[in-house]
A and B are shown apart, each in its own frame.
Chain A
């Protein structure tokens, strides 16, 4: 029996349409990366000449040749440490509660989940308003580093929770059942079995969240980070951060400060891309598949 001619062969129109669609998809995938590449080249070309010890160490100045981002870089690093201390325990704690303890049928637990999903999409500037109203003015903390770190903590908390939940959910139930069968209590199961198995996923998610927080500018503007800081920032002293310093330079009309901003961006991107690469490496090497 011979197969009809039409079967097994596509019509000309089908093939043309298929190819056109494929090309369209390729364009939409690559356009973002293409622009990212152009951005990197553009920034690098403009700013690399200004990346030197002055930029890394000196405070800001009205003379672009003497201006640096030293206090801003240190402010960003201090905030990164504070963030890590605040956000990881709270985020992992919440994720453990939701995944291991909470009864999904209860209305308050469902509300909690929706609340976290919504918080993840609240504009970052709204967190800035929260910081301005409660931390800076409300309890009179003032425009200090701690206020900035606390606001960034709340900002990325939902991201850390979501990433930690996914990591915890990926731990197979058989491990929990096995531990229970040996007489472990719930906390022993969580602490000695679930958490160690979920740590690579949690670490990856936390680093990505941290990288996002470090690049945030808008909420910090509202808690007063746009200011001149000459010395090393302290917990309860006035502060600035690298992205805020970059914004301050961009906002100046002189061309030299634009170049300085590009140099600052190179430093910021170097920090962030290192963190991203580390997170991805961590995921690829330590994440187990069951």
Chain B
């Protein structure tokens, strides 16, 4: 009994690990660091305010129904017409051709790096892909305009000087590393046991890759696809340089077209008077672009969390 009393009395004394007084300096530092974190929150709030406020003014003058159902985009003509469909179609076609390049190539590169490459090859490939991802888009735009388009013409495709096809293909090249790195992360998270089990049952490398690793990493792979599509929708310079500047509903990739981003870029270059309807179109189109990419980013983030929850 006596010993018990002693320990009961001594324990709080001995285990008092907390600081005896509050350290204000430490609190101040935590506050300063939190303040740094607030910058990114303010950025998001800033983007939303910057887009929504002028857009509300825009939609006072142009009805939302006309904006989304109209098939003629001519904000600078008289009479002006604000149907956003041509820009949406242009964006869609560019994104489609970008996906034709980046989804299979990115996935193939990811499978190669995760399942086939030796560690040494991987150590070279990863930074090389980072470098590819770091090529400025203005350079790829130049490449699309002065190299890809002439090559397409040479192989007998009847493409114009400005065409959606070469822009889309160049965007696709830009996005191969995006698909490859996010997919490869997901494949790396697949437990080694699953592979070992399949090999023990006599599977070939092809079977392990396509029937074990890809299905097991599927949420991460889809996340990489969604992210790439979102990036393709938001890509500006390549499209601005190589796809031309005519807003028209054209599904034929040999024609020229304008995307949402290219419109914003082309209009924003000029010194547009603040408060004019022309100025406000930048924000209305920008808001549309932001909402589309925001939804896709959220889907992608969710999917990545899903495989992390399962495997990590």
For the complex, what is the distance from the CA of A61 to the CA of B21, rounded to whole Å?
67
For the complex, what is the distance from the CA of A212 to the CA of B134, rounded to whole Å?
6
Q: Chain A residues near B261 (CB, 8 Å)?
A: 123, 125, 218
Closest Cβ–Cβ distance, residue A85 to chain B (whole Å): 14
- Where chain A touches its partner, the secondary structure class is helix
Closest Cβ–Cβ distance, residue B173 to chain A (whole Å): 5
Once A32-B129, A112-B40, A118-B294 are accepted as A-B contacts, the answer to whether A130 and B47 lie under 8 Å apart by CB is yes
Inter-chain contact A130/B50, CB cutoff 8 Å: yes
Q: Which of B108, B146, B147 contacts A29 (CB 8 A)?
A: B108
For the complex, what is the distance from the CA of A30 to the CA of B291, rounded to whole Å?
35
For the complex, what is the distance from the CA of A262 to the CA of B145, rounded to whole Å?
12
Is B137 interfacial (CB 8 A cutoff)?
A: yes
For the complex, what is the distance from the CA of A28 to the CA of B110, rounded to whole Å?
9
For the complex, what is the distance from the CA of A287 to the CA of B37, rounded to whole Å?
26
Is A71 interfacial (CB 8 A cutoff)?
A: no
For the complex, what is the distance from the CA of A29 to the CA of B184, rounded to whole Å?
12
Inter-chain contact B230/A121, CB cutoff 8 Å: yes
Interface centre among B37, B39, B137, B298 (most CB of A within 10 A): B37
Inter-chain contact B142/A158, CB cutoff 8 Å: no
For chain A, the bracket of interface size reads 35 or more
Segment from B6-14, B66-74, B232-240 that makes contact with A? B232-240
For the complex, what is the distance from the CA of A277 to the CA of B89, rounded to whole Å?
39
Q: Chain B residues near A217 (CB, 8 Å)?
A: 136-138, 236-237
Q: Chain A residues near B227 (CB, 8 Å)?
A: 121
Segment from B79-87, B152-160, B186-194, B282-290 that makes contact with A? B282-290
Residue contacts A-B, CB under 8 angstroms, 23 given = A25-B108, A25-B116, A29-B112, A39-B147, A42-B146, A90-B39, A94-B36, A102-B37, A115-B40, A119-B44, A122-B297, A123-B236, A123-B290, A126-B51, A133-B50, A138-B50, A214-B136, A215-B137, A216-B137, A218-B137, A221-B265, A246-B139, A247-B138
